Amino acid sequence: MNSSYANILFACFVLAFIASVNPAHAQRVLGVRGTDSGGPLMPEQAAYDVTYYDLELEVNPAAKTIEGGLLVHADIVHPTEVLVLHLDSLLEVREVHLEGEDGRWDDARFGHADALLRIDLVMTRQPGDRVKAKVHYGGAPRVAPRAPWVGGFVWDETADGSPWIATAVQGDGADVWWPCKDHPSDEPDSMAISVTVPQPLVVASNGKLRGVAEREDGKRTFNWFVSTPINNYGVAINIAPYRTIESLYTSTAGQTVPVTFWVTPENYEKGQALFPEFLEHLAFYERLLGPYPFRADKYGVAETPHLGMEHQTIIAYGHDYSKNDWGFDWLHHHELGHEWWGNLVTALDWRDFWIHEGFCSYMQALYAEELHGRDAYHASMDGGRANIRNRQPVAPRESRTEGQMYLLAPDYVESDGDIYNKGRWVLHTLRYLIGEEAFFRSLRRMAYPNPEMEQVTDGSHTRFATTDDFKYIAERESGVELDWFFEMYLRQPHLPRLMSEPVEGGMRVWWETPDNMPFPMPVEVSANGEVRRVNVSREPVQLPIAEAAGDVALDPKNWILMEE
C-alpha cells in the first residue's frame, strides 16, 4: 500500500483500541477491531505444523450467515495432548471429529472460548504423528466495520441490487471466518476451498478452479484448490454476479499464466479498459523481481466493495478505476506487488511486516521512475515523507501482533503508517548508500535467493523471511557492512540529524544521532555546480574551501532519511 494508501490508513485507524497483554491470549487483542493476528506463538500451537486445510463453506446472503466445515492435517513436532485453533467467538462450533488409528472419525471433546478452539487429542501425540481434525461451525461472522483495515465479512450490493460479498481480514486474522492456526509463521502446503452460493452468484477465490457443481436446490458450489503454501489472511472469497475478462500472460520464466478479472456487470467496460494495465504491471514486477510466483495456479483480480487487499492469486480491487499523478492505477500495482512481498516472501512474525508493506510501497516509486524518469521517482518519494511518524521501530526485535505494527504502543490508540512510508524511505536511502547494481540485485535475491529458484512452481520457492535476512543479502551483494544502517532506521524509532556550521574558510558537517549511535552515512554536497560525495560521521568534517565558497546544498536530491 503506497503513501496515498497510508494517508487513508491514518484517518481510518484513529479509533479507540485497548490491547490485551495477557501472554496466554497475546495473539487475540480484543477491542474495537474484534480480533488481532500474530504475537508470541502459544506453546500448544508451536507443537504442530499445518500441512493442509480443506474448507467447505455455504454462504447465505439473505441471512448474512455462513455454515462451514474445516478439515485440518497437522504434523506434530513437539509432544502435545491438545490441538489449539483460532476461531472468532461470534461463530459457534457445532461439533468436532478426530480421525482415529482405524481411519474412523470419532467425536472429539472441545472447548471454544476467547476465540480459541481447544480440541482434546485423547492422548499425548508424539513428534512425527499426524493429526486430522474436522470442525463444523457456523453463524453470523463478524462484519467488517471499516474494510480492509478493520476487517471481517463485507456484505454489499451491486448496482442492480445483487449480493456483493467479500472477506478482508489481514489485520484481524483469518479466524474471523474460518478455524485455523492464525499465525504468520505457519502456512499449509496446499488448501482446498469449496464455497456454495445461490445462483447466479459467482465465487472467485484463491488458486485454480477445479469445477462448479450445480445443485437441485438452486445453489452451486465452486471448488477451488491452492497448490502452493498460502498465508492465512491471504485466503479470501469474493461473491457477486461477476462477469470475467480473461487473457493468457507469458511469464519471463516461459510458462503461460491465465489472468482473470472478475468484474461487476455494471463495470464490465471499465474493466476491459483497465485490464491491459494489469499485464503491464505483471511484466514490470517480473523484470525487476523475477517471475510471477504462482504460475501453477493463476493471476486473478476480483472487484470488491472495499479498497483492496493482497489475497494470493485473487487480488481484491476496489479502487474505482482511478489513476494517480503518474498515470497508473497504484492500488492494483501495489496489491499485485504483494504476490512477491507478502505471498512469495512472508514475514515470519508481524514485527517484520515492513517487508510486505514498505517494500511494496517502494515499488510504486520505481514504477513512476520507469514511466517518467528519475525526477518522477524523487517526486513520488517526497510525497510520503511528511507522513513518517518515528514513534516506534519499523522492525522491532520483539514479537508483535499485526495491530501493534499499525497502532502505536503503549496504548494502541493512535495510527502509525511507518511500515509503509518509513519502510519505503529506508529502501530509498539504502539504494543511495550501496549503489544501483547492488541494490537491485538485493531486491531480486530477497524475492528469489538464487536463479534456480526462479524456475520453481511447486511451492518450494515460497519462504519466510526476516529483516536480518535482507540485511545479510544487501551486505553480500554490496560488500558493505550494514549493521549501523539497520540499527538506526529499523530497530529504534528516531532519526539522525545532519548538522552543519560555518567555520573560517569553509563549513563543518557532522551527524547527530540518537544515543550517539554510529552512523557513517556519506552525504552528497553540491557546490559551484558540482556534486561530490563526502564521508560524514559523528565527528565533524570540514568541507574544502572551494566547495564552501559558493552556494552549498547538502543532500540536494533528498536521498537520505533524516530529521528535518
Give the integer Cα–Cα distance in Å for 475 and 498: 24
Query: Is CATH 3.40.50.1820 correct for 350-489?
Result: no
The span from the CA of 412 to the CA of 262, in Å, is: 37
DSSP classification of residue 234: G
Q: φ and ψ at 113, to 5 degrees? A: -155, 150
Instruction: Spell out the per-residue pLDDT of the chain, length 564, in tens.
Output: 344 434 433 333 322 222 222 333 333 334 444 567 888 999 999 999 999 999 999 999 999 999 999 999 999 999 999 999 999 999 999 999 999 988 999 999 999 999 999 999 999 999 999 999 999 999 999 999 989 988 899 999 999 999 999 999 998 899 999 999 999 999 999 999 999 999 999 999 999 999 999 999 999 999 999 999 999 999 999 999 999 999 999 999 999 999 999 999 999 999 999 999 999 999 999 999 999 999 999 999 999 999 999 999 999 999 999 999 999 999 999 999 999 999 999 999 999 999 999 999 999 999 999 999 999 999 999 988 999 999 999 999 999 988 888 764 444 445 578 999 999 999 999 999 999 999 999 999 999 999 999 999 999 999 999 999 999 999 999 999 999 999 999 999 999 999 999 887 788 999 999 999 999 999 999 988 889 999 999 999 998 766 555 678 999 999 999 998
* Strand partners for 196: 58, 221
For residue 34, give the nearest of 103, 102, 87 by alpha carbon.
Answer: 87
Share in percent of the chain as helix, strand, coil (round to 5): 25, 30, 40
CA angle 258, 253, 170 (to 5 degrees): 60
C-alpha span between 129 and 467 (Å, rounded): 33
H-type alpha helices, 162-319: 268-289
Under the phi-then-psi rule, with left for phi > 0, alpha for psi from -120 to 50, and beta for the rest, what region is 333? alpha
Burial classification of residue 24, based on how many CB atoms lie within 10 Å of its CB (0-12 exposed, 13-18 middle, 19 or more buried): exposed
DSSP state of 530: E
Q: Rounded distance, CA 360 to CA 333, Å?
A: 9
Q: HSE, CB side, 13 Å, CA atoms: give it for residue 285.
A: 29
Q: What's the pTM?
A: 0.92
Alpha-carbon gap, residue 95 to 383, rounded angstroms: 53
Please report, for the chain, the start and end positions of each structural domain, with discontinuous segments joined by +.
350-489, 497-554
Task: Characterise 161 by phi-psi region: left (phi > 0), alpha (psi -120 to 50), beta (else).
Answer: left
**Nine-digit cell at 176?**
474471523
What is the CA 526 to chain-centroid distance, rounded?
A: 39
